[in-house]
Amino acid sequence: MLAILSEIVRNIVVLIILVTLLDLLLPRNHFRPYINMVVGLVLMLMLFSPFRSVLQFPATLEPALAMRSYIGESEVDQRFALLEQVNWELTLERHRMLMLEKIADILAQEGLEIIEIALELEENINHPEFGQPQQIVVLAKKAQIVASRLGQVENVEIKIGKPLPERATERVVDSRVERLIGEQLGVGVEKIEVKVLRDE
């Protein structure tokens, strides 16, 4: 604000000196009213210029505003790096979702439902295997087939006083499904582990 006031005072002093020189050089009676009108207009414009910069009218081209809106090259590089990182993360996440869908389709074709799945991808952008699965662990169970026809209701026995025996579940490795997933995704079988729950 102090810089703006000092600039206004300096401009007024320069204007007064120029008006005095014009007044001395030109004849007094003929041009005096015109000179006074022009000097008055210029003086009013000079006095209103701080208000115009404070209100930030579009016509002002203040250096301070230009410096405020200036973005340095280092800031552009930082923003570019950030956008590039976000782009790689979004690409990797989309790739992960597509692989999970493909694995679910393969298991559905084999009559299995996914209970849990862990898919670990190479996330280092500079690594030659970026985006490739490093480990796939699937826990699945046999899909339940819903009967389309109504059948006869079976008799149900209710025994009171005896606890029900718990049904043990066994996890069996299914190497055939592992090979199928490996072939479909182009991944080595050693990185894939598929376990299927079987009721006894």
Co-location of 98 and 39 in the same domain: no
The CA–CA distances, whole Å, from 117 to 129, 143, 190, 198 equal 21, 16, 16, 17
Same domain, 101 and 54: no
Query: How many distinct structural domains can be found in the chain?
Result: 2
Whether residues 97 and 183 share a domain: the answer is: yes
Condensed to tens digits (0 to 9), the pLDDT of residues 153-190 reads 666 665 555 554 554 456 677 788 888 888 888 888 88
Question: What would the mean pLDDT of 119-131 be, rounded to a whole number?
Answer: 86
Q: What local confidence, expressed as pLDDT, does residue 60 receive?
A: 47
Residues 114 and 26 in one domain: no
Buried b (16+ CB within 10 A) or exposed e, 150-177: eeeeeeeeeeeeeeeeeeeeeeeebeeb
Instruction: State the pLDDT at residue 52.
Output: 66
- Domain residue limits at 99: 93-146+166-199
Check whether 199 has a pLDDT greater than 50: yes
**97/195 same-domain check:** yes
